[in-house]
Structure 1
Amino acid sequence: MRKLLGQASVQVLRQLAPHELQDPALLDRYVDETGALLHACRHTARAVADGNSYGDSVGELALSLLYELPGQPAYWQAFMATLETEFARSGAFWQEPACEGILRKKVNDLYAGLRDRLDADAYMVATGRDCSPNRIYTYRMLDTAYREIAALFADWQAHGAQVGAILGRELHGIPIEVRQMKSVSGCKAEWVIAWSATLEQFGGAAGPLHTRSKRFASLKNSPQKIAAMLAEIGEYEQLSANQDSVEAFRGDAGEAGAWLEDYWRVVHESEQCEQRGDYAQADQLLADSGEAEYTEATDEGEEEDGQGEDGQDEDEGAGAQAGLEAPDQATRLLEQDRSSAVSLPPNYLQLARLAQHAGSRMLGILAQESLPIRLAVFHKLLGVADDSYPDVWLDPATGELPTLQQLAALDGISMPTLRKRRNEAIDKLYAARDSVAV
C-alpha cells in the first residue's frame, strides 16, 4: 500500500509548480489525479495482493486511505509545510529525479500518520477505550510479531533452532505450542520478547524490542504490558470481524438483481408504449412500478387538464421537484453533441437521467444540481465503480463512471468549476445529514 501511494503521488506531485503549493484547491486535485492513477493500476500484482484478513486488496486499501485525506486536512497541511520548508532550502526538489527518494519519504510519513489516526479512531469506536496513534503503532508491531511467530511455528521443522530459542528449550518433535496458539490472544508475551531477541541472529537485523530506538525499548522489560496489549488486539479482532453469512449476502444480491431486472423490464415496456404513441399506458406502467413518483393521478376537485392554480403542468412540476429534468429538444441535441465529443453514447445523459431513483432522499437534496454534478458526487464518495450504479451510468469503454474531465465536458464547465460545485453538493448532503441527526 505504501509503495502504491508513493509511486502515484510522485507522478502527480512532480508536475507541481512552486506557486501551486499555496493553491487551496490542490488537495482536491491531488486526490482526484492520484486516485485515477491508483485505479489505472488496479490489476497489477501489487494492487490485487491481499491487504488484510477481511478480503480487501492492497489497491482498495490504498484508495480508501487516499479518499480519507480530505476528511483529515491537518495531515495534508503538515505535508505541504514540509514541502515548503524543503523548498526554501533546496528549491523545487520534487521536480528532480534524483530527489524522488526524499519525496517518497515525505509521502510515506503523511500516510503513516493518517493511517495511525484512522485506526486509532476505529479502535475507540469498536472498544470504547481511549487510543492514540502512537499506541496503534505499538499494536501494529505486536500484531506483526504474532503473525511472524505463527509463521515460524507453522514451519517449525525448517526453523527449529529459532523456534527452540523462542520457546526456551530444545525441540524434540512437534511443539505443543504450535497447536495451542490459535489466535493473537494465545500468543505469550515471553515469546514476543524472545522472538525479537532472535532476529539479529536469524534475520540479520535487531528485533523491534532490541534496537537502539526508544519507541519499544521499554516493552522488553514489561511482559505484563505486552500480554495485556495482545489480549486487547484479540478482542478488537473479534469486534471488527465480518460476521455476515455468505447465504444472507447471496440472498440480498439475488433480491437486488431481481429488482433491477424488473426495473429495466418496466422501462423497456414504457418506451415501447411511447413509440406506439400510447403515452397514457407508458405513464401507467411507470406509476405502477413505483419508479415514477413524479407522475401523479389527478385528485378530485383539481382541473382535468393537469394544471394547478399557477398554470404549471403538474407532471412537469413534480418531475422537477424529484430532480428528473425533462430537457427540451435543443437541450437534448446539445447533450448528444457533448456526449459524442467525450466518446460516450449520444443518448448517455437521457438514459442516465431515467435511471435515477425518483424517490431517493439524495436526489431530493441535490434536485437543483445538474446530472453530471450528481455523478461527480458519486465519483467522489463511492469511487468510479460500485455495484449500486445502473449500467447506463457507466462508460461502455471502461465499465466505470465517466472521468471528471468527461463529466465537466458534459456539463459545459471547466474542471475547477466542476470540483467546486461537486464539493458544494457534498456539503449539502453533510448538512442534511447533520440536521437529521440533531
Structure 2
Amino acid sequence: MRLPGTRYQEHGWEQVRKLLGRCSLQALARSGPAVLLDLSPEESLASYVDAAAQSLYAHAGRARGSDARADAAGNSYGDTVLELALGLVAELQARPADWNALCAAVAGEHARLPSFWTAPGGEALLRKKFNDLYAVLRDKVDSDNYQVACGRPCSPNRMYAYRMLDTAYGEVARLFAGWREHREQVGAILGRAVEAEPIEARQLRAIKDCRPEWIMRWSETLQRFTGAAGPLHTRSKRFASLKNSPGKIGAMLREIGEYEALSANQDRDWLQDAGAATAWLDDYWRVLGESGQACTPGPDQVLEARQEELDGPDELDEPDGAPPGADGLAEAATPFPVLAADLAQQLALPPRYLEMADAAQERGSWALRMMADDSLPVRLAVYLKLLGPYDDSYPPDWLDPATGELPTMQQLALLDGVSLPTLRKRRDAAIARLGAPAQTKEES
C-alpha cells in the first residue's frame, strides 16, 4: 500500500521488522537485557540507540544469507531495508515515550517471570516486545508524514485502518480469483448464490473497484469460514468508526486507489525518460560531429528568424571590439559569481541560476568536452541556436521559470558579462568547432 508521505506501509516492512528484531537482540547481548531495568529510561535509550545503529551498519553490504536483507529494497521509493530501519531507530530517540512503554512492558514481564529472556522461548518473547515497539512507531511516523503531505489529520490508528482495508481488499481479490474453491464464501460476500464466474471477479482489477459492502461482508464471513472473527466484527474498538460506515470505508478505498494510480509508474518512467533525453542529446552532438552536413547545423529558418526577433535588431547592438556604452555592461572587476547572481535577480532568474544550470549538465558528454573552454552562457547560446528555445532534452534548471524556455540571447549576454555581438561571435565560434571534426573528415 502506498499513501502520500508514507515509507513503511509497503512490502518491505516485514524485512525491516526482522532486521530490527535481530539487531535489537544483538544490541542488548553485551550488557544483557537487564540493562533495561537497571538504568534509567534515558540512559538505556541512549545506550540502545548507539548499539543498535552499530549492529545495523554491520549488516550492510553483506551478500549471503539473511544478512543480505539489509541491502534489499524496502519500498518502491528507493529506500533500502537498512535505511528504513535506521530511520526508525533515530525516530525512537526523538520519541522517548515509546521507549518508556517498552521498558515498562519488559519490567512487567520480568516481575511475572524473573530474567524471562534466559528461559526457553524467552529470546523470542523479548524480540516480540521490540517488534511491537516498532510496529507502533512505524504508524506514528507514517501518520505524521501523511499529515504533512496531505494537510489532513491522520492518527496512527487511522493509518492502521488504511492498512487493514488494503489487506482486506487483497483477501477479497484472492477469493474472487478462486471463486470455484470458495464458491460459498464468495456468494456470501456478494449476497447471492454463485453458480458461474461472477462478473465482479472480472471487474475487480484494483482497490478502487472494491465496494465497501464486500469488505464488510468479508469480515462477517471470517468467523464462519475460518473460525476467527473479522477485523470489523471483533470487540476491539480499533475499527469502531468503520463497523457500520460503508461511506467511510469507500472513501478510504478510493483514496488508496487514487494514489496507487497516480504513483503507478513509481518514478521509473520519469527516470527512464530523463536518461533517454540525455542519451538523445549526446547522440545528436555525436551524429552532428560525424555528419558531412556538420558545416550547416541548426534548426530551420523559421526557428532562426524567431530567435532573431527575440534577440532584437542588430543595429541596436554595439560593434565588435567597441567598449560598452552607457547602457552596456562593462567587464567589471566585481567577482563573476556575485555579479551573475545579481544579474540573475534583475533578469527574474533564480539567484543561483548559473550554478544550478552548470550542475545540470551531463558530465562527460561529447558536446561538453568540445565546449569545455566556453562559458555556460555560450554553451546555452549554442543550444538555443541549434535546437531552439525549448526542447525535451533540456534539464529544467536550464529554463527560465517565467517562460519555460532557455533565456534569450540578451539575457545570456548579460549573464556572461559581454555585449550581444560578442556573445554571438563566441557562439558561432563554438558551433564551428563542433562541426570541425566532420568537416575535416569530409575534406580528407
Give the TM-score of the pair, scaled to structure 2: 0.49
Larger radius of gyration: 2
Larger relative contact order (CA 8 Å, sep ≥ 6): 2
Give the TM-score of the pair, scaled to structure 1: 0.50
